[in-house]
Chains A and B, each alone.
Chain A
Amino acid sequence: MQKCKKCGLPETYETIEFNDDGLCNICIQNMFKAESIDWDKRKLTLDKLIEDNRGKYEYDCILPFSGGKDSTFTLYYLMKEYGLKPLVVQFNHGFMRPTLLKNNERTFKKLGVDVVSFTPNWNIVKKVMLEALVRKGDFCWHCHSGIFAYPMHIALKYNTPLVLWGEPSTEYTAYYDYRDDEIEVVDEQRFNRYINLGITAEDMRGMVEREPGDLDPRDFTPYTYPNIRELKKLKYQSLCLGSYIPWDAKSQSKLIMDKLGWEGDQVEGMPPKLYDYEKIECHMQGVRDYIKFLKRGYSRVTQMTVLDIRNGRMTKSEADKLIADYEGKKPPSLKIFLEYLGMDETEFNNIVKKTVVAPFEPDFSKDEWSPETWDFDKLYREKN
């Protein structure tokens, strides 16, 4: 497998392209971000955007919030820099971990904000997790779709046109490119381009129904992007904070730990203490990372070390050691995931096998497990 000469991301990484020097487009995009974007001008644009919306609507903006490092930083930054009145909108994917919940309570109470939280029907969630796993090798469809569609419904309901997200996708993938020097719009186009894995809620309903019409279409509303005409009438603007200030996940995490007491957590399969600010929100993160490893031959350890390499904080050989020691082991939560979906590991392997990304070939016979996290027993069990 070809890998980027600078950061090490392999060719199976989504949207990656290598230039003649073997450098990947994500690295190149990020170099442009560091060297060629006029961030001062961008900040002035943000100042104007905020002022144009301040006090005019029910809220100054909608702030989609997961409680991870990016959304927590986004909320903190906007409150401190501008003293806004945001409506924080949370989409509960069903696997929120205790540390995350504690962090959120602390964040909301310290900053003083209105919060709306939505939890979708668990029976539907189970059905679509299985379907998404089979079709795309990614069971998180309900989460991707819900997180990006649901806040837009809230924007319409609360007549609040400005929706502010955190990091721009161009920080990590090339669906959008810093080099285009444009503000990434978080719209339906982007939603259909890759967020929903190419499956809309309407499609998904048809796919999981046993007979046409046996599922209530309203159960799929949270995953459906609202009508563009309604959003345009609202004059909606759905933008990333990271298009106006240069994103730096590591320093931003330190900031929220310091100022808000935000706590990290151990994620299954990750080297302890090293990246405990990353992806701590979800009990199923370990399974997600494991599937990625089987499909593409790399996973979270690679992705995190890549960022450090790209920013000059780690050498490739240090990264390679961490990857060798930690990456690719089975997460204990896999057992519970299989319970939710009512299948065994063999079935699971057969499903994932069909979604493997060439040229990688996984080794399904490896049977090494990563240790349980401290809150493993807190996971919901269907047999309760």
Chain B
Amino acid sequence: MGLRQTLSRKELSIGIIDIGMGNIGSVYNALYSQAWDPILVKCAEDFDELTHLIIPGVGSYAAAMKILGDWNLIDSIIDFAAEGKPTLGICLGMQLLSDVGFEGMEAKGLGLIEGETVPFEKIRGLSFPHIGWNEVLQERTHPILNGIKSGLDFYFVNGFFFNPVYSDTIIATTDYGQLFPSIIGKKNVVGVQFHPEKSQTSGLKIIDNFCLWDGKC
């Protein structure tokens, strides 16, 4: 598992799914500031030259899946991932990687990593949603964690979390009344529940690591 750069930086093309939900500006700015030139992806044609794909997201599972469906992006995303190309889901984007989400109404997800998106147990004394800085404890190594120590804090804003079917897809966990996966991964697909674009230097490092990853574990 390493950061083998099979393509030179100039040949890398990082796409960010933009369906007008929430502010993808921060993700875009984070990439831009690190000297990447990300492309906003809004239709199937935008996938043509992409080497990497980022699925950001803020808002509700069902609403997001509906727009992805309306804009005919679902198949493109699934095909892209099937080709072994590096794919990153951020926050809601990570949750959308699951088979199904239970936020309000039940909705079908992208199904790229087996599991479902469920609400937190409302534990007494804790306020929800889960907002703020919390520790990400690494269970396994992963190329996007290169140079990041286990236990560092990242910025979370989530009321739901990804509950995977297979425990070996859990890369890192976080504790908020209960342990939930903060990073999941299967082959070339990886998801982070926190906002790397809001987590200062360590967050920017994760984004950089992703852009330099060739999708292999």
A229 within 8 A of B: yes
Q: Known pairs A229-B32, A229-B34, A229-B35. 10 more at Cβ < 8 A?
A: A189-B201, A228-B33, A228-B34, A228-B35, A229-B33, A230-B35, A232-B33, A232-B34, A232-B35, A233-B35
Q: How many residues of B contact A (CB 8 A)?
A: 5
Interchain Cβ contacts within 8 Å, total number:
13
Tell me the complex Cα distance, A232–B204, Å. 13
Closest chain A CB from B214 CB (angstroms):
18
13 sampled A-B residue pairs with Cβ under 8 A: A189-B201, A228-B33, A228-B34, A228-B35, A229-B32, A229-B33, A229-B34, A229-B35, A230-B35, A232-B33, A232-B34, A232-B35, A233-B35
A215-248 contact mask (Cβ, 8 Å, vs B): 1 or 0: 0000000000000111011000000000000000
- Contact pattern, B 174-191, Cβ under 8 Å of A = 1, otherwise 0: 000000000000000000
A→B interface (CB under 8 Å): 189, 228-230, 232-233
Which residue of chain A has the shortest Cβ distance to B200 in the bound complex? Answer: A189
Question: Residue of A at shortest CB range from B149?
Answer: A180
Closest residue of chain B to A231 (Cβ to Cβ) is B35
Closest 10 A-B residue pairs measured CB to CB? Answer: A232-B35, A233-B35, A229-B35, A232-B34, A228-B33, A229-B33, A189-B201, A229-B32, A229-B34, A228-B34
- Chain B: minimal CB distance from A227 (Å): 9
Task: Say whether chain A's binding surface is mostly helix, strand, loop, or mixed.
Answer: helix
* Residue picked from B34, B35, B201, most chain A C-beta under 10 Å: B35
> Which residues of A are found within 8 Å of B201, using beta-carbon distances?
189
Nearest CB on A from B148, distance (A): 11
In the complex, chain B residues whose CB is within 8 Å of the CB of A228: 33-35
Q: C-beta contact mask, B1-39 vs A, less than 8 Å → 1, else 0?
A: 000000000000000000000000000000011110000
Provide the bound-state CA to CA distance between A153 and B168, in Å: 47
* B8 → chain A closest CB, angstroms: 11
Give chain A residues whose Cβ lies under 8 Å from the Cβ of B35: 228-230, 232-233
CA–CA, A341 and B6, complex, Å: 58
Query: B101-132 CB contact bits vs A (8 Å, 1 = yes)?
Result: 00000000000000000000000000000000
CB proximity of B6 to chain A, nearest CB, Å: 18
Contact with A along B27-58 (1 / 0, CB 8 A): 00000111100000000000000000000000
Contacts of A232 in B (CB 8 A): 33-35
Q: With a CB–CB cut-off of 8 A, which chain B residues contact A189?
A: 201
Chain B contacts of A229 at CB under 8 A? 32-35
Residues of A close to B32: CB separation below 8 A: 229
Q: Give, as a whole number of angstroms, the nearest-CB distance from B10 to chain A.
A: 10
Considering only CB atoms, which chain B residue lies closest to A182 in the complex? B147
